[in-house]
Chains A and B, each alone.
Chain A
Amino acid sequence: MTNRKSWVYLNDRLARYLFISSAILVSLIILCIIWFVGMQGLSTFKEASILEFFTSSKWSPDNGKFGALTFIAGSIGTTIIAILLGGPLGLAGAVFLAEIAPPWVRSIMRPATDLFAGIPSVVYGYVGITVIVSFTGKITDSPTGYGMLAAGIVLAIMILPTVISLSEDALRSLPRTYKEASLALGATRWQTIRRVLVPAASPGILTAIILAMARAIGETMAVQMVIGNSPRFPDSLGSPTSTLTSNIVMEMGNTPFGSTWNNALFMMAFILLIIALIMIILVRTASRKGAAR
């Protein structure tokens, strides 16, 4: 009896240690990623200058020119286009789902947005190549249509599910009394949405937008397939250019591991990692502010 009892307690203790160690393992992984990618990336600056990397757009590694400004500008540009196009549409979808949609419409639209989230990014890229570039070619008067606008449109569609589901959650988590008080004062539904509900849910909506930006700037395959992949500074919406992610994919295979060129590509990945971590801190602050109110 005592023997069996101690066995039970031993099991209990063992399980507990297993759970703690898996939690700690998960935390160690992010540190390892920062360390490995960071060390590999920062060793670029043994041979190239930091100032040149961030301020010059001359990218010709064969001649020792490591200016990554083109890629940084390309990444930021496509992300901004994606947010400008996808943000308002997604927010409209979220308001519609939370406040207006009759239950049967909701039961169609919710799974539809989930399906959007499940489509692999290469398939978005495939649709981009087959349909969207010919459309952007027409509006921007460029022969191919590859470029920032095409990438921005593809990304705008890709971030829709993130914006919709997180903003809708934020709107739904508001106390019912807000809405009832506003309607009782004689406000219309639209006035209630615009003046009460959306401002009250703004920390959550901000979180949705930030996470959507994080997804857009780190997106690789879909962007690589429609951006055109030329190391040219993005001076117009319809000319081929590159982003941080697309350039890593293009050049990683052709450069020997450990060379300065290769390290520079790891440095670009490190920039993406740092941006992602900054976004997470922003999200935490936004949600803490929301909780404090």
Chain B
Amino acid sequence: MKAHQSDRLASALLWVGASAIVMLLVAFLVLILGRGLPHLTVEFFNGPDGVRGQLFNSFYILFLSLVFSLPVGLGAGIYMAEYAPKNKLTDLIRLSTESLASVPSIVFGLFGMILFVNMLGLGFTILGGAATLALLNLPILVRVTEESLLAVPRSYREASLALGATMWQTLRKVILPTALPGLITGITLVAGRALGETAILIFTAGMNVSRIPFDVNPLAAGETLAVHLFAVKSNPLPGTNADQIADGTAALLIIMVIVFNICLTIPSRWLQHRHQGKNKA
């Protein structure tokens, strides 16, 4: 039976391919953590070449970019899911959101550079970096919001509207709470991606870090961890232990990614569980 032999062979090859993919990931993690974990000491954070400032900037820029992008992204997503009529304007908005999602991050970086660094004359700032990073977040936020709102059953809306609630009341009291697990997952996804972004920030937030610990001045230049890894790996300063810093930074970034991925699953499962439990009771 030739057909059965080729069936077996194909299955075996697909198993091999799939295990290759998983092995590749394991190799990545072992390599990066194996090289980097020994360097993650107090000295690594607080020493003269410490990355304390970069770590702070990473989260500070992430926070500001979410402050800028969340209201607009959620708003646009709500419009697309709940209000948008089927017409040319809606089509156009959808097309431009999809296009925005496909823009390479370096193009965002150059756009931010024209706008914030040169036209507004701010120079390299945390504010400009965060605002440009917000543009990267926007299309994902819109899509995630739209998807999680559309997953809410129609009957919920109809019941609320039939009781005389306005659309806004329905959204606030019924639709958004039900869609919350999906929204949280989406925001975590966006945050994870923004945290590792480099190409945008090189051209907008610069490659310098403030000497003051935990400097919250948004008009200071703010190198993040990911940018720092790029800087020490692509042009290492002679006389510093650039390789160790790079190893440690890469490991720290990977740990952050893993933590975000765990966060991605836990809160939404917990919320879903609680929600279902409440409905049963």
Residues of A near any B CB (own CB < 8 A): 8-9, 11-12, 15-16, 18-27, 29-33, 36-37, 40, 89, 92-93, 95-97, 100-101, 105, 108-109, 111-116, 118-123, 125-127, 129-131, 157, 160, 164, 187-191, 193-194, 211, 214, 217-221, 224-225, 245, 248-249, 252, 257, 265-266, 269, 272-273, 276-277, 279-280, 283-284
Contacts and interface: CB of A to CB of B under 8 A. Distances in A.
B10 A22 contact: no
Contact of B10 (A21, A116, A190): A190
Interface in B177-198: 192-193, 195-198
Contacts of A37: 107, 110-111, 114
A93 B20 CA distance: 9
Contact of A118 (B82, B100, B193): B193
Interface residues of B, number: 88
B104 A273 contact: yes
12 contacts: A11-B168, A22-B72, A25-B72, A26-B93, A27-B96, A111-B261, A113-B21, A118-B192, A122-B253, A123-B226, A126-B250, A218-B105
Contacts of A121: 196, 198-199
A157 to B, nearest CB: 7
Contacts of A93: 17-18, 21
A104 B159 CA distance: 39
Given A26-B100, A273-B107, A221 B18 contact: no
Contacts of B221: none
Given A12-B166, A23-B84, A127-B31, A272 B107 contact: yes
A19 B196 contact: no
B156 interface: no
Contact of A245 (B14, B104, B138, B234): B104
A23 B230 contact: no
Nearest to B192: A118
A160 B18 CA distance: 11
Interface of B: 3-4, 6-7, 9-11, 13-15, 17-18, 20-22, 24-25, 28, 31-32, 35, 71-76, 78-80, 82-84, 92-93, 95-100, 102-108, 110-111, 113-115, 118, 135, 138-139, 142, 166-169, 171, 192-193, 195-199, 202-203, 226-227, 229-230, 233-234, 246, 250, 253-254, 257-258, 260-261, 264-265
Among A92, A108, A113, A123, chain B packs the most CB atoms within 10 A around the CB of: A123
